Amino acid sequence: MRIDSLPYNNAQTQGPARRRWLQEHAPQHLEQCAALMLEALARRPLALSPGIAVLGAGACTEIPLEKLARAADEVVLVDLDRAALLQARAELPAVSLRTRVQLLTADLTGGVSLLLQERLRLLPWSTLEQEEASAFWDRLAAVLDACPVPDPPQVEDLPRATFGLAISSLVLSQLFSYPLLDLLDAVQQRAARHLGAQERHRRYQEAAQRFRLRIIAAHLHLLRDLVEPGGLVVLLSDVRGFLFQEGELSKGGPTRQALPLVPHAFFDLVRQTFTVLAERRWEWLSDLPTAERPGRGYEVVGYLAAVPAL
C-alpha cells in the first residue's frame, strides 16, 4: 500500500533541511502556516483547555512547534510516521518543552487503505481483465462505493472533546489520494490494459469523487470531535497542484498545468461543519524545474474556525 511508503517519502520532504529550502524558495508558505496557527492561539478563549492536537504533524516542517508547546500544557502530535514525530520533538530546545509533547502513531483515516485493499484482493482479476473497459471500471466504481470509511475515524488514545485547539496540517489530500493510488497500482499489476480508461469513465470518476468527499467529511468530523464546544480548529490543505517551467511562475502562465486536488464541495463541507473565522489562500513551491522535469507547486487554503458551542 502507498501508505506504507510514507516514512520514506517524509524523509525526503520534511525536517530541518526541507524547512531551510522553504525559507529560501517559499518563505511565504512557512509564514502563512505559522501565522494562522499563532492567530488561533491568540483567539483561543481562556476558558478552553490549553491542550493542542496536531494531525498530520510529521516532522513539523511548517508547524511552529516551540511556540505551540510554550502555549499549551500538552501538545499531541499525530502521524503515521513515528520517526518524523520523534525528529520534531527532538528539535525543541528544552527538556521542559519536550515533556509537553506527546507522540501518537496512527492512521488518521481509521484504516481506509487496508479496508480497500481487502476488497480489491477479493476481486476475480483474471475474469475482470478480459472484460470490456466499461464493465471493468463499473466494477471498480462499485468497490469504491462499497468501501467503508469510518466517520469519524476511531483513533486509539486520541481523546475526544478534550482540546482547545486542533490543527490539521497539509494532510487532507493524502488521506484519500493514497488509497486511490493503491487501486490504480492494483490495476497496473493485474489488468494493465485497462489503465487509463478510467479517465473517460464517468461512473468511476463519480465514485472516486464520492470516495474523496467521504474521507474529507470524516476528517472534518474528527477535528470537530477532538475539541471542546467552542474550541478552535486550524485546517491547512493543498487544494490544487500545478506544474511550471523555469521563468513561468506567474499565476495563469501560458504553460502552467493545474491539477485539482480536492472536490469543490470541500469548501461547502468546511462551512457546514465549522464557523469560519478566517480564511487565507496562498501558493508554495515544492520543487524547482530542471532540464528534465517541470517544477511543482500547490495552492493552499487555510482556515481558522470554531466548533459551535452546544
Terminus-to-terminus CA distance in the chain, angstroms?
Answer: 40
pLDDT tens, residue by residue, 95-131? 999 999 999 999 999 999 999 999 999 999 999 999 9
Separation of alpha carbons 176 and 165, rounded Å? 24
pLDDT at 126: 94
Separation of alpha carbons 253 and 274, rounded Å? 35
Q: Any bridge partners for residue 169, and if so which?
A: 236
Q: pLDDT exceeding 70 applies to what percent of the chain?
A: 94
Rounded (5°) CA angle 232-236-237: 140
CA atoms within 13 Å, Cβ hemisphere of 29: 24
Question: Which secondary structure element, helix H or strand E, spans residue 286, and what is its range?
Answer: strand 275-287
CB 76 within 8 A of CB 102: yes
Q: Say whether pTM exceeds 0.95.
A: no
Over its length of 310 residues, how does the chain's per-residue pLDDT go in tens digits? 777 776 656 666 788 999 999 999 999 999 999 999 999 999 999 999 999 999 999 999 999 999 999 999 999 999 999 999 999 999 999 999 999 999 999 999 999 999 999 999 999 999 999 999 999 999 999 999 999 999 999 999 999 999 999 999 999 999 999 999 999 999 999 999 999 999 999 999 999 999 999 999 999 999 999 999 999 999 999 999 999 887 655 554 445 678 889 999 999 999 999 999 999 999 999 999 888 888 899 999 999 999 987 6
pLDDT at 102: 98
Q: What DSSP string runs through 128-139?
A: HHTS-HHHHHHH
Q: Is 274 helix (H, G, I), strand (E, B) or coil?
A: coil
| Listed residue (270, 301, 256, 269) closest to 283, CA to CA | 301
Separation of alpha carbons 307 and 310, rounded Å? 9
pLDDT at 254: 43
Is residue 282 classed exposed, middle or buried when 0-12, 13-18 and 19+ CB atoms within 10 A define those classes?
middle
pLDDT at 292: 85
Query: For 113, phi and psi rounded to 5 degrees?
Result: -60, -45
| Listed residue (42, 52, 56) closest to 73, CA to CA | 52
pLDDT at 10: 64
